[in-house]
Amino acid sequence: MRAEKVEAPARHASDAFVVRTRTPAQTRAGGGPGQLLNSKRFARAYVGAGWEVFQPVKMLRVVSWNINGIRRPLQGAANQEPSNCAAVAVGRILDQLDADIVCLQETKVTRDALTEPLAIVEGYNSYFSFSRNRSGYSGVATFCKDNATPVAAEEGLSGLFATQNGDVGCYGNMDEFTQEELRALDSEGRALLTQHKIRTWEGKEKTLTLINVYCPHADPGRPERLVFKMRFYRLLQIRAEALLAAGSHVIILGDLNTAHRPIDHWDAVNLECFEEDPGRKWMDSLLSNLGCQSASHVGPFIDSYRCFQPKQEGAFTCWSAVTGARHLNYGSRLDYVLGDRTLVIDTFQASFLLPEVMGSDHCPVGAVLSVSSVPAKQCPPLCTRFLPEFAGTQLKILHFLVPLEQSPVLEQSTLQHDNQTRVQTCQNKAQVRSTRPRPSQVGSSRGQKNLKSYFQPSPSCPQASPDIELPSLPLMSALMTPKTPEEKAVAKVVKGQAKTSEAKDEKELRTSFWKSVLAGPLRTPLCGGHREPCVMRTVKKPGPNLGRRFYMCARPRGPPTDPSSRCNFFLWSRPS
């Protein structure tokens, strides 16, 4: 049994020491070999207490992050300098995470859209898995520092995309899957394996395989995606257990898209059948519950964060960006670093979350191991620097065009053919110009008459035919022509009053028309809970209300008991 740690482990390798041997007195007092010390001051204290030997150890730091798109500038890094280049931001974020191995999920990039500055960062060697079905969807990537270069790398879990050169291997029994199902599970670019050589504090070399995964999301409106998710889980477990059986240590890290325990989800008490979720049951079978002595809770892997922080509440890694839930920490823990039991108990020194790192709807998670990496002499073939488009071996399209040697007679005939073609083209253009109607011929007038010509009458109103002439309004005046001077005077007065009334009506009509056009948007309603202006949203879920707009409280989503969180106000927007 390993002794308790004196203090949180050092972040940098040069600050860490480990106990090698001890005296019988210290054996009775507690502690033991493998105890990690994070400063020279603690090391001297142990020497003064009778410890015989301690040795400097290098630390291995791994970090995982659902980056939600590697091509867009990362907000947490790109705003620090005027340049918002995504490639510069990726290099800066890798430096900020300060890890030997960085695993990214949801890169949303396909191979044709991957640029060299994104794929090749100085000081790192990178490996990508792309979605083969959709562009800008899914995808994972692993960046390894040069001092942690893997000995093997492989895309996918099934082995169908293996190149038989530099692959990880160890696939297990996959007879329960068809070839079509395996190809479908790996075609979304959700898994990437890198295998490393590590050296323990005892000087022993072992193999460590990292499985970088972005597990599928189960959409409630698409039952087939839940089946897809569970089959992916099953394939992941078969591959991980096969690697363990082959003698390799295994770490599964990434976005598992399942909150395991009620403590890992803010609103678990209000979710129906939370414990009965198939994804949570799968995690129960995969993981060991260190606080339970029942044999049914002893799985091959350990949730490293809960190993160090078993009762920490509010430890979330994902929040809704649409509702602003991160502001009030209204989220769930979907990102994990899972290690096999022996590896976690013997070498894991810390497991952490980094909620202060912005730029995605997820935050990074990671772990520190008291082992050192033994870098491979050269990168595996899957490394992106070996891709033809980045290795300088891509041929230009001109190399595929061979000049044709022509005889003088052939050249002359070709020239004559070109001339004839040019003359025929000019004649065709002239014929087209001569047959094209002129503006004066079609009766079109240049310029805009007035703005009202753009406003068409309602289709419900009957339209008069342009060939029918409607009679003028003063029809009776043509039938009753005044004869006496008195009648003429009266008719003149009536005509003047009619003109005045007609002009007044026309003015009022124009005024009401422009008031209706220039009235502007409707007033934003106030929410019922806070009496504050609402925000307008649009329904994006498929169904009868798709595209409809509605008003809701503008505050971020949070716990219902928190008065500063969003209230339940809802109001459909009237159609414009």
SS3 category, 141: strand
Instruction: Count CB atoms within 10 A of the CB of residue 415.
Output: 10
User: How far is 215 from 228, CA to CA, in rounded Å?
Assistant: 10
Active-site residue 127, yes or no? no
Active-site residue 214, yes or no? yes
More confident position, 266 or 485: 266
More confident position, 53 or 215: 215
Active-site residue 361, yes or no? no
List Cα–Cα distances, 154 to 171, 436, 536, in angstroms: 12, 63, 46
Report the DSSP pairing between strands 535-538 and 549-552. Answer: antiparallel
> What's the pLDDT at 530?
83
Q: Kindly state the tokens that stand for 183.
A: 């190809």
Residue 287: DSSP 8-state: B
Residue 518 has pLDDT above 90, yes or no: no
Average pLDDT for 165-169: 89
**Which member of 124, 340, 362, 551 is catalytic?**
362
Q: Does the predicted TM-score (pTM) go above 0.85?
A: no
**Which member of 127, 214, 330, 551 is catalytic?**
214
More confident position, 343 or 23: 343
**Which member of 167, 186, 255, 303 is catalytic?**
255
Q: Kindly state the tokens that stand for 270.
A: 């209000």
Contact 141, 90 (CB under 8 A): no
User: How far is 414 from 206, CA to CA, in rounded Å?
Assistant: 71
Summary mean pLDDT of the chain: 79
User: How far is 333 from 316, CA to CA, in rounded Å?
Assistant: 4
Report the DSSP pairing between strands 60-66 and 365-369. Answer: antiparallel
Grade residue 570 by pLDDT with cuts at 50, 70 and 90.
confident
User: How far is 321 from 325, CA to CA, in rounded Å?
Assistant: 7
Helices (H) and strands (E) in the chain, counts: 14, 21
- Rounded to 10°, the helix 179-186/223-245 angle is 90
Burial class (CB in 10 A: 0-12, 13-18, 19+), 356: exposed
Give the residue carrying structure tokens 């502690």. 31
Q: At 539, phi and psi to the nearest 5?
A: -70, 120
> What's the pLDDT at 448?
58
The tens digit of pLDDT for each residue in 204-240 reads 999 999 999 999 999 888 899 999 999 999 999 999 9
Angle (CA) 47 51 54, round 5°: 80
Instruction: Count CB atoms within 10 A of the CB of residue 367.
Output: 27
